[in-house]
Structure formats: C-alpha cells, structure tokens
Structure 1
Amino acid sequence: MFVLVNLKAYPCDPVAVAEAAERVATEHGADVAIAPQAAHIQAVAQSGAETWAQHVSPVGHGSHTGSTLAEAAADAGAVGTLLNHSENRLKLADIDASLDAAERAELSTVVCANNPDQIAAAAALGPDAVAVEPPELIGTGTPVSQADPDIVRDAVAATKRVDPEIEVYCGAGISTGEDIAAAEELGADGVLLASGVAKAADPQAALEALVD
C-alpha cells in the first residue's frame, strides 16, 4: 500500500517529517511519500524521502507569475504531484492541462475527486492514479472506509471500468493502521492522509503505527 502524506500548510517541520518517513520506509519496507509546500520540495527531497508536489499548474514555461511550474517541481526533486485536491479544485480542462504538464516533467500523478462519478471522469483523463476523498470527511478523523465504504468500492469499480491499470487511493480521515487495512480490503492501492502525521507530536511514531 502506498502512503502519501500531504503536509498541506500545517505548521510542521517538513524536513523532520520527511526524515521520519524515510526511516520508517527503510526500516519497515513501506512505500511512504511526503507532499510539502512547493517552497520546501528541494529540502524534503534532499532528506531522501520520496517527495511529491501538492499541485502543479496547467501551464508551461512563459508568463505565468504565481504558478507552480511542473518542471520546477521536478527540478527541485519532486517525483509526482497531487492534482485537484478538494482544497484546490480545478476545472476539467485545467486538470487535463496539468496532467500534460506533469507528463512533460515526468511526474507521476494522482487526481483527487469527491465521489465515484467524478473518479470515473478523472480516470478518463489518464492519470497514474485517482484518489477518492469526500470533502466532508477530510480532517475529521473518521475514515471514508468506515463512514461510507461503498464510496471506495464504487470508486475502484468505476476506475477499473475506464482503465484497469490506474491505481485507486483512498483519502479523508485516514489516521490509523486499521484504516489502511480497511482501505486495502475495499480494493484501494494506497491512501492519502495529512493531519494524522503532519499534526502528530511524534511523526515517526504516527507513521510506524500506520505501517505496522
């Protein structure tokens, strides 16, 4: 199971979290990645942890002040990017353009969506993975795998109908190893989480509890 920790804009030490993630990944043979703020990508990547961007903009080189250029994220050390997180929604055409930008920069992609219908539409654009995250559960500590397991099952089924090669991740409320196990039983290939690690007093202990 792939574990992608989104640090959002929480007041944590991104390098300390990344170092903890790298230790846990090495010691437990786990697949853990960190998505920091764009300004911290290089420092996080230098820790040795797998590093993802939280977003790349649907633009190429040119006059795009304030945009996150995919090539710049890759140059800083990112190997993948989230797109269309519920806190940074994009129009369908912009998701498509951001996927093109990520492909140019050789970044892996995860497109987030709220429900199985949106997941199917996202999958049709050809990302490497999609992630189902009901926004009402984000940050609540109540995992979608418990609150509404059918959303996960239906998202997996919808994705596989479009392209069986696209992975499906489960987000919103994931905070324990039991949540990850439940997501896997429902057919998910990975999980997205944030506050359970980024807000933890001991990120390494939180990650170890997840992967154990």
Structure 2
Amino acid sequence: MFVLVNLKAYPCDSIAVATAARDVADDAGVRIAVAPQAADLARVADTGVETWAQHVSPIDHGSHTGSTRPATVADAGAVGTLINHSERRLTLADIDRAREVAADNGLETIVCANNPAQAGAAAALGPDAVAVEPPTLIGGDVSVASADPDIVTDAVTAVTQVDDSVDVFCGAGVSTGSDVAAAADLGASGVLLASGVAKADDPSAALTDLVSKI
C-alpha cells in the first residue's frame, strides 16, 4: 500500500512532516511519500523521505514563465509527480504531454480523476497510477471508501479494463488507518491524503495510525 501525503499550500512545517513520514515509513516498512510545494522540494528530498511534486507543467525548456518543468523537479530530488489534481486541472492533451515529459525525466506519474469514467480515460494515457478523488469529499472528514465505496471499485474496474498494469489509488477524506484498510479492501493499492496529516497537531501520530492496519 502506497501512502502519498500532499501538503498543498497548508501552513505546516514541511520538513517536520517529511521527517515524520520518513521515520514512520522506515519503522512500519510501508511506502510513504510527501508532496510539498515546489519551492520546498529539494529541502524535503534532503530529509530522505520519498518526495513527489504536486504538479508539473507539460513543457521542456522555453518561454514558460510560472511553469514547473519536470526536469527541474527531478533535479530537486522528486521521484514522481501528481498530474491533474482537482485543484490544478489540465486539458486532456496537457495531461498526456505532462505525463510524457515527466516519464522522460524518470518521474513516476499519478494522474488524478474525479470519477471512474475519467479514471478509465486517464489509464489510457499510460501513467503509473490513476487516483480517483471525488472533489466534493476532498478536505472532508469522511473518506471516499466509506462515503461511496462504489466509486473505488468502479474505478478499479474501469482502469483494469483499459490497462491492468496501471495502479489505482483513491483519495478524498482519507485520514485514519481504517480508511486505508477500507481502500485496500476495495481494490486500491494506494491512497492520497492531505489535511489528515498536514493539519495534524502530531503528524507522526497521524501517520502511525494511517499505516497501523496495513
């Protein structure tokens, strides 16, 4: 089970969260990664935690002010990137190009989708994984695996029918070990979460609980 903690732009101590994630991952033998803001990528990577970018732009060198170049993300120490998060939507063509350029630079890719139909379409682009995250549940207290488990099982089916080598993750409202266990029971091989750790008073305790039932 893969746990990816997206720090978004929350007012948290990214280094403290990264250090906690590294230690809990080592102690539990579970794969945990942290996705900080772009400016913090190198500092977070220096902690030794698996580091992911929150977004990359579908570009290489050129006149692209304000963009996030995949090669630069990789140079900073990231090993993967989210693409098309519900808070950073891209066109289908840009999703495809961002995945391609990211892969060319050795980055793993997770393409986010709102629903099972989008998850199946995303799988056709050849990412390493697709994450289904209903926008209405993001940032809430109820996980998608509890609120609407059919979204997870239908996404697994949709993705598998297109390309069974693509992993399926789920997110939105995930915050406890029970949420992670429920996601696994529904066929997901990973979870995405944010506020459950980034806003926690004790990130280490929150992470420990998250992986307690894996």
Whether TM-score is above 0.5 comes out as yes
Write out per-residue CA displacement over residues 29-48 of structure 1, whole angstroms, 9 at most, x where no aligned residue: 11100000000000000000
Q: Give the structure 2 partner of residue 148 of structure 1.
A: 148
| Letter matched to residue 101 of structure 2 | A
Residue 121 (structure 1) shift: 0.6
Gapped runs of 5+ residues in structure 1? none
1:102 counterpart = 2:99: no
Q: Give the structure 1 partner of residue 87 of structure 2.
A: 87
| Letter matched to residue 170 of structure 1 | C
User: What is the correspondence of 1:173-212 to structure 2 with a 5 Å cutoff?
Assistant: 173-212=173-212
| Letter matched to residue 114 of structure 1 | N
Q: Give the structure 2 partner of residue 130 of structure 1.
A: 130
Residue 198 (structure 1) shift: 0.2
Q: Using the alignment, how far apart are the partners of 2:38 and 2:101 within structure 1?
A: 16
Q: Give the structure 2 partner of residue 7 of structure 1.
A: 7
1:40 counterpart = 2:40: yes
Q: Using the alignment, how far apart are the partners of 1:50 and 1:112 within structure 2?
A: 19
Q: Give the structure 2 partner of residue 25 of structure 1.
A: 25
Write out per-residue CA displacement over residues 101-160 of structure 1, whole angstroms, 9 at most, x where no aligned residue: 101111000000010100011000000000000000001111011111001000000000
Write out per-residue CA displacement over residues 39-76 of structure 1, whole angstroms, 9 at most, x where no aligned residue: 00000000000000000001111111110000000000
Q: Using the alignment, how far apart are the partners of 2:34 and 2:182 within structure 1?
A: 22
| Letter matched to residue 71 of structure 1 | A
TM-score, scaled relative to structure 2: 0.98
Residue 200 (structure 1) shift: 0.3
TM-score, scaled relative to structure 1: 0.99
Write out per-residue CA displacement over residues 166-208 of structure 1, whole angstroms, 9 at most, x where no aligned residue: 0000100000000000000000000000000000011000000
| Letter matched to residue 163 of structure 2 | D
| Letter matched to residue 23 of structure 2 | R
Residue 28 (structure 1) shift: 0.8
Q: Using the alignment, how far apart are the partners of 1:195 and 1:107 within structure 2?
A: 25
Q: Using the alignment, how far apart are the partners of 1:156 and 1:208 within structure 2?
A: 26
Percent sequence identity is 67
Gapped runs of 5+ residues in structure 2? none
Q: Using the alignment, how far apart are the partners of 1:29 and 1:87 within structure 2?
A: 31
Q: Using the alignment, how far apart are the partners of 2:111 and 2:104 within structure 1?
A: 17
Q: Give the structure 2 partner of residue 120 of structure 1.
A: 120
Write out per-residue CA displacement over residues 15-37 of structure 1, whole angstroms, 9 at most, x where no aligned residue: 11000000001111111000000
1:139 counterpart = 2:139: yes
User: How many aligned positions are there?
Assistant: 212
Q: CA RMSD in A?
A: 0.4
Q: Using the alignment, how far apart are the partners of 1:88 and 1:30 within structure 2?
A: 28
Q: What secondary structure is seen at the aligned counterpart in 1 of 2:8?
A: coil
